[in-house]
Amino acid sequence: MARGNIKRWMVNQTTRHSSDIVQISPAGVLGRPLVVLVNYREAQDILQRRGADFDVASLHNEIFRGIMPGAAITNYTDEQYNSIRVLTRELMTASFLSNVSGPKLYAEASRFTNTWKAKSQRALGRPWNASPDFERLALNVGFSVVFGARQQGDDEAISGSLSGEPLHDDASEAVDCDEPIAFEEAPLPDIFAASRLHSQALLDAALGAPRLYYFALGFLASWRTSLDLVNTYVGKRAAAFTQELARGANPCPTSHLEAALSKDARQHRRARAKTVQDEAYSHLLGIHDTIPHFMDWAAVYLGIHQHLQRQLRAGLRAAYPQAAAEQQVLRCRPPVSFLLREARRDTTILGHSIPKGAQPSSPPAGWEKPEVFDPGRWLRNDPETGEAKFNGQSGPFLAFGAGRRGCFGKRLAYLNLRVVLTLLVWSFEFGELPDNIMTDLGLEQHKSAKPRAAWVRLRQVCC
């Protein structure tokens, strides 16, 4: 079965059996029954109110444990998990997002916009694949927000790649403006390349048997080198800030890592240094996963739905919140294709017996014509003013999970997506793409589904 059809196949099983819940046979990973649940209210109830019955699946923990064993995401909802969340909960407060993370994010998004302006001028109306651009943006945002440092050589590398000739014929001499243009990709800094390798490993490990997968990777020198590189980088930054604290200084944290270390010091170092470092690195990989995933699909949908793009741009000019468009991209293409939990004890779902160890999975479902991209799904008329306003409760939405084990970085993710999407839609018109590109988007399906390429045809607009 093609990877891109797994989610659809799971939903089809419930339709075939006329039931909101089915068990997939043979049994799931390592002999544990895999249960598919498409009842949104029941799935939401499991995530938010049935923590005594269900916790994150052991498979989920093992996927992340091979890279960052000390991070909260590798734990069940236990004392260790709670102690790490105490260190990091400040990071998602409005004050930290506005005063620390927000300015760094805006600076990176502005640099990215300037790079795209240079590319669009050289492309002269020809489309190019923006997926590598979004991935590089995510890495720059992640290292700036999480570790408080930019990779200075990256700007020079990007400028150098734009100063040369495009890999295809010069766009100025091109007759066919529908022919894609390829720009030379600037080499990634070593620490960026290591992080990208780790992100890909997480996706591959999610396909099954993560312990065996990481065991095999351990024999590769390139894998061991990447882990050493990241551990050294993060360790040095942590040690430098810790030394400042030891000297009696009280520096204001400028990153996720520094904020967690500062909180740990105030609590008399209850956590191990490696735990804090692994937790910070998990935030980086989370950013690396969400920004490219969202922006790849946003670029695709904006190119296809020209009228919705115009509405969004007009709304931005009128200072109207673009939350409906964001929510619809996440609904159609959630960062995680399906949510997986594990029964902690014998229990029931919708009257069906669920044995301990069974893994209920909830693929997105519950919308009429779910494949249709329509931000209007999230708009409701205000009874007093008659104006259309965003309503996040308009329908099923579990793109970031829910409950105590919902996505910890959800607020940061929304901030990232809003800033980047706003700047790009404000600055560029995403033109219609030629049929030879749009006939086969293709999917790269792992834990989340991405288009094989996010083609864009840009024209700068005056604001």
**Residue 463, marked binder:** no
* Single-letter residue type at 104: K
Q: Are 379 and 390 in contact (CB under 8 A)?
A: yes
Q: Rounded distance, CA 297 to CA 334, Å?
A: 10
**Nearest C-alpha neighbor of 140 from the set 169, 111, 115, 117:** 111
CA 254 to chain centre: 22
Residue 342, beta-bridge partner list:
55
Q: Are 88 and 256 in contact (CB under 8 A)?
A: yes
Q: Rounded distance, CA 160 to CA 131, Å?
A: 19
What is the per-residue DSSP string for 35-101?
EEE--HHHHHHHHHH-TTTEEE-HHHHHHHHTT-TTSGGGS-SSHHHHHHHHHHGGGGSHHHIIIII
Please report the beta strands in 295-442, taking only residues with DSSP state E, as ranges in sequence order.
Answer: 339-343, 347-349, 352-354, 359-362, 379-381, 388-390, 428-430
* Single-letter residue type at 103: P
Binding residues for heme: 407
Binding residues: 407
